[in-house]
Chain A
Amino acid sequence: MTDLKLTKGNIALAEGALQAGCRYYFGYPITPQNDIPEYLARQLPKLGGTFIPAESEIASINMVMGAAAAGKRAMTSSSGPGISLMQEALSYMAGSDTPCVVVNIMRCGPGLGGISPTQGDYSQAVHGGGHGDYHNIVLAPASVQEMFDLTIKAFELADKYRNPAMVIADAMIGQFQEPCRLTPKEPVVLPEKPWALTGRKGRTPQLIKSLYLGDGEQEAHNMLLVRKYREIQDNEVMCEEWHLDDAEVMIIAFGTPSRVAKTAIIQARAQGIKVGLLRPLTVFPFPSKQVYEHSSRIPNVLVVEMNTGQMLRDVQIAAHKDARIHFYGRPGGGFPYPEDVLRELKKAMEGAYERSL
């Protein structure tokens, strides 16, 4: 196919943002995501967009908030330590129904950590991260193509629900190159944003705020947020089901480990072991229904992650009560290999339901 182009994950993501109509990018350097701001610094001015190398991640995300409140598609990207600094503003945006896209090309931590891939920021992304009861919409690409496609999807969902959307990819997906089609599957439509702060001309003044001090107001507001999250859970789950029809063991993995798992599955099937994969593309909303349904039929479950078991907890909550959930995790700084996954698969089938770290 002629429209396939060998592209690096981070670049595919940045190109996805541009094609989604994002014209405002604010960011601060951190490895392993620097290709994103560097690419956008070159491209945005050509498109009449704005690129600002911000003084910190705190400033970046607040600039995003300003542009987003003005009704524009705006984005920032970072990695672990920088994403930690952004949590305050993410909480504000979630609390005030302000859409934005934030990218976390995850590196291993805690602290300064290292720059090699991990999925250690799953809990931070999926279960809040900032203060208060709120959720980001969280997308987890596993290929360069998905870096492009899911970034466009992230803008779409952020605007649809007026909510922050995060793309979490590990350093591996950000850095490697694959053939990729850099045109959107469907034409991108920029939505109207009548709520944007554009000056009151011709209408009554509008507010974007999260402070509710009146009696019962904060609870009422929080309940609106809860309703929104339920709607997202009902409508926006995306996951891949791979060789699950005849499977006796089910692997659940997202991002890079899901690709390692696919290789292991091919090898296992060559040995007559019937394995399938359930791969969340959205981790909030989490594919709880899918996990429940498949685990009631395939009670042997192996969760593979590049952390110490952060998605595992979501799987445990969602799974059928009779499911036996085995965990294999690498906490960052090292990788799961197909032979590791194969070994853990066999343990899972023998009934050694445990956590292997």
Chain B
Amino acid sequence: MHGLSFDIAHTLAGGLVLVSFMMLYQDRLYSLLNVFALHALVLALSVAWQAFIQDAPHLYVTAAIALVFKAIVIPVALHRIVKQLGIHRDIETAVGIGPTMLAGMGLVALSMVLMLRVTAEADALAREDLAFALSVVLLGLLVMVTRRNAVSQVVGFMSLENGLVLAATGAKGMPLVVEISVAFSILIAFIVVGIFLFRIRERFDSVDVSALDDYRGERR
């Protein structure tokens, strides 16, 4: 393992975790979308670098999908949706910023301890990558849990998927099937979500998920 190539891969994967943290404290929808675009950009760089050092040209495709689709198309589209719906006000968080950040740190520590311990026999690059990827997944989950707004839940989910892509690229030689499927599922997920956002708007004049909470299963 070359020292420099490892360091760069490490830095990029660590950068992804850092950007996940940045997502946790965004209190405006627009800035959250911008941070997500950054997240996807770092992911694209990280995947491209992995493609380079693993000598796996098919990973460049994954990197390109991340760059074009997730860093540009989706954020732009979501910007437009947010503008059309007029919901660019503050994001209502279910939990305060302080506790959220603390929980985030706990999750990162947890995934480090867990993954570094169980992957002791795997090669160093894959170990670090998996540990960081699990952190990104868990932080994405945290974003989803702490936000009430449907758009920011979707952003949380997509950052979670970014973590999965990072994990899949870190697993050396994993077939293309999975990378494409990840990208594909995001595409479908986006369509589904896009449809739902408009439907929810039609029905409730709001995309605040707490409006949905007024309706509880059986009180009809």
A and B held together in a complex: no
Q: Which B residues are within 8 Å of any A CB, using their own CB? A: none
